Amino acid sequence: MLLTMTSTVLLWGRLTSAPAAPSTAILEIQPAVFPTSTSIVPASLPPNALEATPQITPGGELAIGAYVQVAGTGGDGLRMRDQPGLNGDILLVASEAEVFEVDDGPVEMDGYVWWHLKGPFDPARQGWAVASFLGIVQNP
């Protein structure tokens, strides 16, 4: 009887305390996909507003309240900063042809003229940008 109990305890101990085999985690890395631009269209636009192409006025005068379009970046986009000047932190990179409203400026800093721009449909898209890459847009 003692032999039976000992065998049962040993067998039970092996069944419950058997070491688990090491497991291998499988990690799959996928490249991130970022949109190249965001298009937000408010419900209040007239029906033909999307058909018209904004016209950039070369040499036009920038002023607060004007609408401008990013131009001349070669597709690289325009860095928009938290303050005027090359030392400002980059908040976002505006896409070529993206339209903004001028709400402050001008400020001359680091050899450039800077204007503060804000997105007309997304106020989070805002920052200081160099005037050299902006064209005035008529009837955006």
Residues 6+ apart with CB under 8 A from 42: 121
pLDDT 10s digits, 87-129: 999 999 999 999 999 999 999 999 999 999 999 888 899 999 9
Lowest mean pLDDT among 11-25, 66-80, 88-102: 11-25
What would be the CATH architecture of the domain defined by 55-138? Answer: Roll (2.30)
Determine the residue type at 32: A
Query: 131, 97, 135: which is closest to 113 by C-alpha?
Result: 131
Q: Are 98 and 137 in contact (CB under 8 A)?
A: no
HSE, side-chain direction, 13 A CA sphere, residue 113: 10
- Is-above-0.75 flag for pTM? no
**pLDDT for the residue 56:** 44
